[in-house]
Amino acid sequence: MPARLLHLLMLTGFLLVPRLAMAAPVVPAPLSPWQDWVLRDVRDADCTRLDDQDGRGCVWPGELIMQPSGEVLTFVWDLVTQAEVWVGVPGSAGQWPFDVRLNGQDVPVLQRAGRPVVSLAAGRWRLTGRVRPDARQGRVPMPPEAARIVLRGSSGWGLDTENQLRRLAPVSEEKGDAPRVRVHRLLTLERPATLQTRIQVES
């Protein structure tokens, strides 16, 4: 076997080893009837294993779309869950979300660790609802599970470093006449040619 081909086969095998190691374990036939019993308390058994970590990902969020509507913000969020999990909702204990629905059906919003959450079973979900911004600072905390937040319908909002949607301060417009600028140029057609520029600012 040529040395180059042997080297290529060895390299391919080396790259495949991590993937094979991460494959689902094979359960011997005599133990198959006990598989569900063994995994009954393993909540993330069906979740996707992360390539670069030992854990598993059970929540796969899509874009969290926020849209101002009058004095409130509406939200639409598509998610895929692979186990029973708690997922945060835009808002806080002091800014409780309302009209929250899951796939079009009313869903109870509970409080865990000081923030509003909903309980989701494994499946595909669309979470919708509304929330009012903080009256004093004009902000709405975003759930930590949100990987991408999209703002639609308004340029008066932005996301700060604390993962909160915040109303932006209006840009003040200065009154009064702007200064006038006069530019004078003098071109001398000699050798070498010269160009003199004079700038005059009038307030």
Instruction: Supply the CATH number for residue 67's domain.
Output: 2.60.40
179 is a domain residue: no
Contact (Cβ atoms closer than 8 angstroms) between residue 142 and residue 55: no
Q: With contact defined as beta carbons under 8 Å apart, do 83 and 122 qualify?
A: yes
Distant-in-sequence, close-in-space partners of 177: CB < 8 Å, separation ≥ 6: none
Residue 93 maps to a domain: yes
Which residues form the domain of 85? Answer: 59-167
Q: What is the pTM of this model?
A: 0.62
Instruction: Assess if residue 41 is contained within a domain.
Output: no
**Tokens describing residue 94:** 């002091």
In a domain, 113, yes or no: yes
Number of domains in the chain: 1
Per-residue pLDDT of the chain (203 residues; tens, 9 = 90+): 555 544 444 434 433 434 433 445 565 666 556 455 444 544 666 687 777 666 778 889 999 999 988 889 999 999 999 989 999 999 999 999 999 999 999 999 999 999 999 999 999 999 999 999 987 878 899 999 898 888 887 667 888 888 788 887 765 555 556 566 555 555 554 556 565 656 666 66
Closest CA to 143 of 104, 72, 91, 81: 91
Residue at 7 is within a domain: no
